[in-house]
Amino acid sequence: MRNLSVLLTLLLFLGGCSLAPKYVAPTSELPKSVGGDLAIDESWWKGFNDPNLDEIVREALEHNYDLAIAAGNTARARAALGLAKAQQYPNFSLSGEGARTWTRDPADSSKFIDGDSFALSGVLSFEVDLWSKLSDGKKSALSQLLATQAAQDTIRLSLISGVIESYYSLLALTYNERDIEDMLQGKERAYELRKSQAQAGALTELILSQVAANLNGTRTQLIDAKRQKEAAQNAFSVLLGRTPRAIFEDKAKLSDRFPSSALPSANLPSDLILRRPDIRAAEEGLKATNYSIGAARAQYLPSISLTGSAGFASAELGDLFNQESQSARAGIGVNLPIFSFGRIGAQVDAAHAAKEIAVAEYQKSVAVAFSEVRDALSRREQAAARLAQLREQTKYLRRALKLTRDQYESGYNDYIAVIDAETDLLTAQINQNAAEAENIAAQVQLYKALGGGYGVKADTKE
């Protein structure tokens, strides 16, 4: 008994000798950054001060199908971690049996002798984690959970960004429809006036035909604008996770204006980008492969299991729990692989290869992240400059249309000049609406490139 106690103490002392390589985070050559640490609010879109947008984002987060799938994957990874934790603890099972047997009577082969047997026992088994195989498996499962959570954050960030861009793109299409309708109303009034002038002989048939053709063209333009808006509305409803019925019955409530900028400056610390959920997912995936190497290596070495059982066995059910029916057993089992014909080596090689892939994926993620940030900064700057120019152009074209109409009424221009001025203004207004949406999209893409305010989750307890 004393020898067994010494052996158990020695096994517990040896437990925890991990064979996994020491984890060292891969280094990346990061660009210099100026300005102190910068924190982004996780609810950054509220900086647009648009209650309708806030409600739309909330709806998308509650009902989007892709996000629901990601949440399911996270729940599955959390269950896998729970299983890995449970493997480190003893397993206790209880079994019972009742049977009747028949054997031939040695004295008379034509007869059978029957007998009953009853048994009830509890079995306790425990694998000693000598080489930290189970511990490394748990750590790998934890990293997989964190990687899955980060992947869910990536999907959430992409969803929010997509919803905001689609929301303001839909608003731009709504503005297009409004601007075309306003222009169409003015052209319809002008056509009725020109038709009266033609009937009175004050306007040629050529001019009237040109006015009518331009009016029909604007009506066609309005039909196209309504079609584009309806298609965008339907796609937006799917993005929000609405049911087929809701797609037909519910319409997004839109704002009556485009928001102003509410985003950070271009001077950004490099470590802010490393908080991006996709980079965190890549690093946690790398950690998981690192611990998997230890678990694979441990298969070369012996595994030791401790077992114990206690119970009752009797030929009579009434005597099952008598003292004479008690039995107990304790033992130790050793499993040492001798010939695996390359199976274990192949698993170790595969674990090493998986780590090399994970290192490359992490470094690629970092490089892509900084590229996306640089592109987003450039896109935001160019979008803002383009929008400013289009706003000025629209202002001047609106003034030009008024002057052209005044000159026509005074007899200094023909009506074709008015038609051209109206066309130029409407085109500029549509371009400005698109530029307004593009300016917001550029700001949203910068937030997305910076990681959207996500940090390390608190759900890391072992």
pLDDT tens digits for range 316-349: 656 556 666 667 676 676 666 777 777 777 877 8
Tokens of 420: 């051209």
Q: Is residue 429 situated within a structural domain?
A: yes
- Round to whole Å and give the CA distance between 68 and 74: 10
Domain count within the chain = 1
| pLDDT at position 436 | 93
Angle of helix 343-409 versus helix 277-297 axis, rounded to 10: 170
420's CB contacts (< 8 A; 6+ apart) are none
pTM flag (> 0.85)? no
- Round to whole Å and give the CA distance between 308 and 324: 19
3-state secondary structure at position 425: helix
**In CATH, what number is assigned to the domain containing residue 239?**
1.20.1600.10
Least confident residue range of 76-80, 100-104, 172-176, 199-203: 100-104
Q: Is residue 354 situated within a structural domain?
A: yes
Tokens of 430: 């549509």
CA atoms within 13 A on the CB side of 331: 7
Angle of helix 205-239 versus helix 415-449 axis, rounded to 10: 20
Q: Is residue 119 situated within a structural domain?
A: no
| pLDDT at position 245 | 61
Distance set, CA 452 to CA 40, 149, 161, 382, 444 (Å): 7, 15, 9, 21, 9
Q: Is residue 310 situated within a structural domain?
A: no
Residue 20 has pLDDT above 90, yes or no: no
| pLDDT at position 251 | 66
Q: Is residue 242 situated within a structural domain?
A: yes
Closest CA to 432 of 401, 398, 456: 398
Q: For 175-227, what is each residue's pLDDT tens digit?
A: 999 999 999 999 999 889 888 888 888 778 888 888 899 999 999 999 999 99
Closest CA to 127 of 156, 163, 91: 91
**Better-predicted residue by pLDDT, 443 or 269:** 443
Query: Is residue 139 a contact partner of residue 85, using CB atoms and an 8 Å limit?
Result: no
Q: Is residue 316 situated within a structural domain?
A: no
**In the predicted model, what is the mean pLDDT of residues 27-36?**
57
285's CB contacts (< 8 A; 6+ apart) are 143, 144, 147, 358, 361, 362
Residue 34 has pLDDT above 60, yes or no: no
Residue 308 has pLDDT above 80, yes or no: no
**In the predicted model, what is the mean pLDDT of residues 81-99?**
75
Residue 67 has pLDDT above 50, yes or no: yes
Closest CA to 251 of 262, 240, 260, 259: 240
Q: Is residue 258 situated within a structural domain?
A: yes
3-state secondary structure at position 382: helix
Which one-letter amino acid corresponds to residue 400? A
| pLDDT at position 60 | 87
Percent of the chain with pLDDT over 70: 75
260's CB contacts (< 8 A; 6+ apart) are none
- Round to whole Å and give the CA distance between 248 and 235: 12
Q: What is the extent of the structural domain holding 59?
A: 17-88+135-300+343-449
| pLDDT at position 99 | 77
Q: For 403-437, what is each residue's pLDDT tens digit?
A: 999 998 888 888 888 889 999 999 999 999 999 99
